């Protein structure tokens, strides 16, 4: 740890690891389980070294049995533990979707409030590394659709470092999405950053001409777009949703009340996406604030292709965001 007042450079991956380490040090009910989290060090290197520090009971390698080990996480949570379950990617989480939806998200309600499920599930999401369709999808909206769970998408180093503690403190299931292209992102991390508020979106950059709204792996593209727009004399506000369920429509509405224009960026397919939900909210709640139709920049409606230029064409890119903002500003 650095001395107070100075800023330490870290990566998104290390920030996540530090959060896991802190969680396990401070509460012995917390344990991590998932495929290759232990000996291998996590398939994206997030949990490297934790096995040595906490031992195989608390950093638990599982077989390839997503439904079984997520379900086991639910059971352990019911019995008073605080499991953190890692699923390698959201693509594979579909094998466990039944447990997440029909058990984790539902037990509290079905039991008339008797069975809260304090479970945290982490998984990687997103495209951009030429891994082809079965390793590249953004299915956050599938989870954001489900009442009974909280869905988080840390996009910054601070959120990667500090979202886990409040997620573990939540009595209900929390799903955390880590975008694969962010793991190597690096920068200074304030040593005593404030604890993250999981109920509110964050205005990452103030502006008055247009609201650029996104989450997760698209945030760096938003900043790049905002820089380009600034050079064109358009002062864009960047809003990071950070929590996809419950969606903080209030912060978005307040931003749109200032800028009167909205561009929503989502790497997922447009149809039925988080961007679709947000656009509907804006139509319902901010209709009279809007001076232009809501613009959406989303992933193309195609399984993500392997070939590099097709993959690039399938994903939101900075140029497309800038163009959408110019259309909105008119």
Ligand X SMILES: Cc1ncc(C[n+]2csc(CCOP(=O)(O)OP(=O)(O)O)c2C)c(N)n1
Hey, which residues are catalytic here?
A: 66, 135
DSSP conformation letters of 282-303: HHHHSGGG-SSPPEEEEE-SSP
Write out the binding residues for ligand X, residues 21-80 only, by CB under 6 A: 35, 64, 66
Contact 84, 32 (CB under 8 A): yes
**CB under 5 to 8 A by kind: which of ligand X, other proteins, none does 169 bind?**
none
Contact 83, 120 (CB under 8 A): yes
Tokens 């369920």 identify what position? 245
Of 95, 132, 203, 253, the one binding ligand X (CB under 6 A) is: 95
From the list 88-96, 215-223, 263-271, 287-295, the region that binds ligand X by CB under 6 A is: 88-96
Of 18, 45, 92, 165, the one binding ligand X (CB under 6 A) is: 92
Of 88, 96, 144, 198, the one binding ligand X (CB under 6 A) is: 88
Of 8, 22, 27, 61, the one binding other proteins (CB under 8 A) is: 61
Of 129, 169, 188, 280, the one binding other proteins (CB under 8 A) is: 129
Candidates 82, 46, 78, 230; CA nearest to 154 is 46
Q: How many CB atoms lie within 10 A of CB 179?
A: 25
Write out the binding residues for other proteins, residues 247-286 only, by CB under 8 A: 270
Using rule CB under 8 A, residue 306 touches other proteins: yes
Contact 87, 32 (CB under 8 A): no
Of 81, 97, 101, 131, the one binding other proteins (CB under 8 A) is: 131
**CB under 5 to 8 A by kind: which of ligand X, other proteins, none does 65 bind?**
other proteins
Give residue 245's Cα distance to chain centre: 10
**CB under 5 to 8 A by kind: which of ligand X, other proteins, none does 80 bind?**
none
Kindly tell me the number of DSSP H helices and DSSP E strands found in the chain.
14, 14
The least distance separating ligand X from the CB of residue 30, rounded to whole angstroms, comes to 23
Using rule CB under 8 A, residue 68 touches other proteins: yes
The least distance separating other proteins from the CB of residue 13, rounded to whole angstroms, comes to 14
Using rule CB under 6 A, residue 292 touches ligand X: no
The least distance separating ligand X from the CB of residue 167, rounded to whole angstroms, comes to 23
Task: Name which of 89 and 214 has its Cβ closer to other proteins.
Answer: 89
The least distance separating ligand X from the CB of residue 89, rounded to whole angstroms, comes to 7
Q: Which residues of the chain form beta strands (DSSP E)?
A: 8-11, 30-34, 59-61, 82-89, 120-125, 150-152, 174-179, 186-189, 202-205, 210-214, 236-240, 243-245, 262-269, 295-299
Contact 179, 206 (CB under 8 A): no
**CB under 5 to 8 A by kind: which of other proteins, ligand X, none does 133 bind?**
other proteins
The span from the CA of 241 to the CA of 267, in Å, is 14
Q: How many CB atoms lie within 10 A of CB 248?
A: 20
From the list 87-95, 175-183, 238-246, 313-321, the region that binds ligand X by CB under 6 A is: 87-95
Sheet holding 120-125, edge to edge: 59-61, 30-34, 82-89, 120-125, 174-179, 150-152, 243-245
The span from the CA of 91 to the CA of 96, in Å, is 10
DSSP state of 2: P
Site residues for ligand X per CB under 6 A: 35, 64, 66, 88, 92, 95
User: Interface residues with other proteins (CB under 8 A)?
Assistant: 35-36, 39-41, 43, 61, 63-68, 91-92, 95, 129-135, 270, 298, 300-303, 305-310, 313-314
């Amino acid at each position: 740890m650095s001395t107070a007042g100075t800023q330490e450079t870290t990566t998104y991956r290390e920030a996540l690891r530090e959060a896991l380490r802190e969680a396990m040090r401070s509460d012995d009910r917390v344990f991590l389980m998932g495929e290759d989290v232990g000996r291998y060090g996590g398939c994206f290197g997030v949990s490297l070294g934790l096995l040595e520090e906490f031992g195989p009971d608390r950093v638990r390698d599982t077989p390839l049995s997503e439904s079984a080990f997520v379900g086991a996480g639910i059971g352990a949570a019911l019995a008073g533990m605080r499991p953190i379950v890692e699923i390698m990617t959201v693509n594979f989480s579909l094998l466990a979707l039944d447990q997440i939806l029909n058990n984790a998200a539902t037990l509290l309600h079905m039991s008339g409030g008797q069975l809260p499920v304090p479970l945290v599930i982490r998984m990687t999401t997103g495209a951009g590394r030429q891994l082809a369709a079965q390793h590249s999808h953004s299915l956050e909206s599938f989870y954001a659709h489900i009442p009974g769970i909280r869905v988080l998408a840390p996009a910054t180093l601070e959120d990667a470092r500090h979202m886990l503690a409040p997620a573990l403190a939540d009595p209900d299931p929390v799903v955390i999405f880590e975008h694969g292209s962010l793991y190597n992102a690096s920068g200074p991390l304030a040593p005593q950053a404030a604890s993250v508020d999981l109920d509110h979106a964050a205005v990452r950059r103030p502006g008055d001409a247009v609201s650029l709204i996104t989450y997760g792996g698209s945030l760096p593209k938003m900043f790049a777009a905002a820089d380009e727009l600034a050079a064109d004399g358009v002062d864009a506000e960047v809003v990071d949703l950070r929590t996809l369920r419950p969606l903080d429509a209030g912060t978005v509405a307040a931003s749109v009340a200032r800028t009167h224009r909205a561009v929503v960026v989502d790497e997922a397919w447009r149809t039925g996406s988080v961007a679709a939900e947000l656009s509907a909210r804006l139509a319902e709640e901010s209709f009279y604030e809007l001076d232009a139709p809501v613009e959406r920049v989303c992933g193309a409606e195609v399984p993500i292709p392997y070939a590099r230029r097709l993959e690039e064409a399938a994903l939101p890119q900075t140029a497309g965001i800038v163009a959408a903002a110019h259309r909105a500003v008119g």
